Amino acid sequence: MFKYLKQLTSLVAMVAVLFTFTTETMAAKKSKTLKNTQKKGFVRCGVSQGLPGFSNADAAGNWTGIDVDVCRAVAAAVLGDANKVKFTPLSAKERFTALTSGEIDILSRNTTWTLSRDADIGLTFVGVNFYDGQGFMVRKSSGITSTSQFKNGISACTNIGTTTELNMRDFFNSKGISYEPVAFEKADEVVAAYDAGRCDTYTTDKSGLAAQRTKMSNPDDHIVLPETVSKEPLGPVVRQGDSVWEDIVRWSLNAMIEAEEYGITSANADSMKTSDNPAVKRLVGAEGELGAAFGLDNEWSLRIIKQVGNYGESYKRNIADTGILPDRGPNELWTKGGILYVPPAR
């Protein structure tokens, strides 16, 4: 009698466990962040305080940039309108706290993906939207054309709260050069101090150097040295613990890159519905049930492509045409000699 009772209890327990497990996954399907975003009617996106090409606001308060486009893509996928984004400008220091405390839902702010950031502080990096590397800018008149000409006692301006400070130390230590780091809180002050002659070199991500050079009193007086001293994969970040939201942001970015790969642009997206290629048809929502996996409809990626454009369009609009980095370098598709390679959307 007792034997049966024991078996019965374990059975009940198993059923109970199974039941809670299934309800758990059902609940997880409907992501809390997704639900909140749909209820609010806008995506809360953290961006920089002004970095041309990545996230920069014009005089009328319109944000543009490739980091901005990631948030717009998510808004297009989730809410159907790429303009339904609330941008919060954040300093390098504030950005992670703003994300973990729930003030924003996506951090798309030229943020380097590193192990400690991914593992330690409650964040998840969802992908890379720009492959960057740290470089150095010097005055042309100094005659320096390579970092190998740096000498002991060089002063380097940079800003705090970034991986730059760590890379700078690694670089100068490996070369055995003593240096004077002058670290500011904001990028504008770094530029002003370097421009005034306080420092011999200005170091940050190369894309940043290219963008900031345009702010100098005489941009042609400065050059960015050819050497790249670190790997800086920049990408959007979300809070840990909401895997559905994480997937939405990851695949919104991936969809933009894959759309470029298949030649789908904002102009031809609708006509691609009749394409012969099933991969193209899946991306424009004419085949398969891809959106259902994260609780969205089937045209989520079509809306991204139509409203924001593919990755190539976004790059051209924000970075190439503005003269920041006309050459795509590593940020070219893998099929064209770059390293942009995303898993297939299927």
- Residues contributing to the site for another protein (CB under 8 A): 92-93, 96-97, 100-101, 116-117, 120-122, 138-139, 141-144, 149-151, 153-155, 157, 160-162, 165-166, 168-170, 173, 179-186, 189, 192-193, 196-198, 200, 239-241
Cα-atom radius of gyration of the chain, to the nearest Å? Answer: 23
Q: How far apart are CA 31 and CA 12, in angstroms?
A: 29
In the complex, what is the shortest distance from the CB of residue 81 to another protein, in angstroms, rounded to a whole number? 29
Q: How far apart are CA 82 and CA 72, in angstroms?
A: 5
Q: How far apart are CA 317 and CA 56, in angstroms?
A: 13
Angle between helices 32-40 and 243-261 (to 10 degrees): 80
* Comparison of 36 and 142: residue with beta carbon closer to another protein: 142
- 157 close to 134: Cβ distance less than 8 angstroms: no
Query: Can you say whether residue 301 is alpha, beta or left, with left for phi > 0 and alpha for psi between -120 and 50 degrees?
Result: alpha
In the complex, what is the shortest distance from the CB of residue 93 to another protein, in angstroms, rounded to a whole number? 6
* Comparison of 6 and 169: residue with beta carbon closer to another protein: 169
In the complex, what is the shortest distance from the CB of residue 85 to another protein, in angstroms, rounded to a whole number? 23
* Comparison of 193 and 224: residue with beta carbon closer to another protein: 193
* Comparison of 136 and 262: residue with beta carbon closer to another protein: 136
* Comparison of 133 and 161: residue with beta carbon closer to another protein: 161
User: CA 314 → CA 84, 93, 252, 266, 318, distances in Å?
Assistant: 18, 27, 13, 10, 6
In the complex, what is the shortest distance from the CB of residue 132 to another protein, in angstroms, rounded to a whole number? 18
Q: How far apart are CA 206 and CA 212, in angstroms?
A: 10
In the complex, what is the shortest distance from the CB of residue 278 to another protein, in angstroms, rounded to a whole number? 39
In the complex, what is the shortest distance from the CB of residue 32 to another protein, in angstroms, rounded to a whole number? 11
* Comparison of 200 and 232: residue with beta carbon closer to another protein: 200
SS3 category, 217: coil
